[in-house]
Amino acid sequence: MRSASFALIFGVAALLAPWEACGADSTATDRISASASGSTLTGTNGGAGGSIGWLHNFDPDSLIIVAAEYQSLSIAHWSFGSLAGAVTRGGANARYTLSADAHEGAGDNGPRAFHYSIAGAGITGTYFQRLSILVEDHRIDVDTTHGNLPKVGLSVLWSPHWQTSISYANSVSGNLGTRLTSARVDKYGTAVNVFGGAAFGKASPDLLNLEGQIIAPGHTLREGYMGVSRSFGHARHDVTLIADYLNLSGSKKATLTLSYVFHVQAVGGGH
């Protein structure tokens, strides 16, 4: 799967290359992001993590992200690099966004090392600036877990201040055994945005005997999260705080994440 991830990385770069070749543009902007998180996990000493990234808009409709992240939880530690990109095209009543992302790294679960690879691509259609439909697929190869997880989603912007989203993901290969339903609500303000959501479903397959009978059910996942983001300094600084609670068949994890984004001054000039 590593070769497929690198192929996707080069595909993202090729997709965005025409905008970069034009040189600096007055609409180009750069942002630097950083995050830190701390977690608790049932029966362990929890974990922590952090990330740093660079976000570059070639213009308002094309974006590339390069990032690095480190995470630890209980006795497991892993780190990975990320590359993602998106391009939007279309008119006022129908716009389409093509996106792709790849995450490659490694870690260890105590004495045993493992490879970390997640890569995906998707398309989002937005109609009349209110209704968005998402179709995407991600290939997951992390330690002994592998498979494809396609997802479909629907978002409705009811007003300039309120948006609701729902999505459904169902693994179709490998040993993921995942079926998740998610929902989210966003409230947009002048300087402060508030959001919250939940997810529920199965996060691992049932264990069957030779007769096809279930002898051990798959893990059930319940997750809820809330967050708030605020802009400072004429929207050049963004701070986001997210509280997340996850219950995986009785194993409970709580995470608090603080993210900071600094908007670098727009690049001037043309080509």
Whether the per-residue pLDDT at 213 is higher than 60: the answer is: no
Interatomic CA distance for residues 227 and 242, integer angstroms? 4
**Residue pair 130/157 in contact by the 8 Å Cβ criterion:** yes
Taking alpha carbons only, the member of 155, 95, 84 closest to residue 121 is 84
Q: How many CB atoms lie within 10 A of CB 212?
A: 7
pLDDT of residue 270: 44
CATH topology of domain 2-264: Porin (2.40.160)
Residue type, 270: G
Whether the per-residue pLDDT at 187 is higher than 50: the answer is: yes
Q: Would you call 120 exposed, middle or buried from its count of C-beta atoms within 10 A (0-12, 13-18, 19+)?
A: buried
What does pTM read for this prediction?
0.86
Whether the per-residue pLDDT at 139 is higher than 60: the answer is: yes
State the Cα angle at 67 between 62 and 68, rounded to 5°. 170
Model confidence at 10, pLDDT cuts 50, 70, 90, reads: low
Model confidence at 209, pLDDT cuts 50, 70, 90, reads: very low
Largest CA distance in the chain: 70
Whether the per-residue pLDDT at 78 is higher than 70: the answer is: yes
pLDDT of residue 107: 95
pLDDT of residue 252: 94
- Copy the structure tokens of residue 224: 């809820």
Interatomic CA distance for residues 116 and 140, integer angstroms? 8
Whether the per-residue pLDDT at 13 is higher than 90: the answer is: no
Choose between 133 and 266: higher pLDDT: 133
**Residue pair 148/138 in contact by the 8 Å Cβ criterion:** yes
Interval 41-60: pLDDT, tens: 999 999 999 999 999 999 98
Sign of the alpha-carbon dihedral angle for 72, 75, 76, 79? positive
Interval 221-240: pLDDT, tens: 999 999 999 998 777 899 99
Q: What is the mean pLDDT of the chain?
A: 87
Model confidence at 219, pLDDT cuts 50, 70, 90, reads: confident
pLDDT of residue 265: 66
Q: What percent of the chain has pLDDT over 70?
A: 83
Whether the per-residue pLDDT at 210 is higher than 60: the answer is: no
Interatomic CA distance for residues 26 and 155, integer angstroms? 31
State the Cα angle at 259 between 176 and 30, rounded to 5°. 100
pLDDT of residue 232: 87
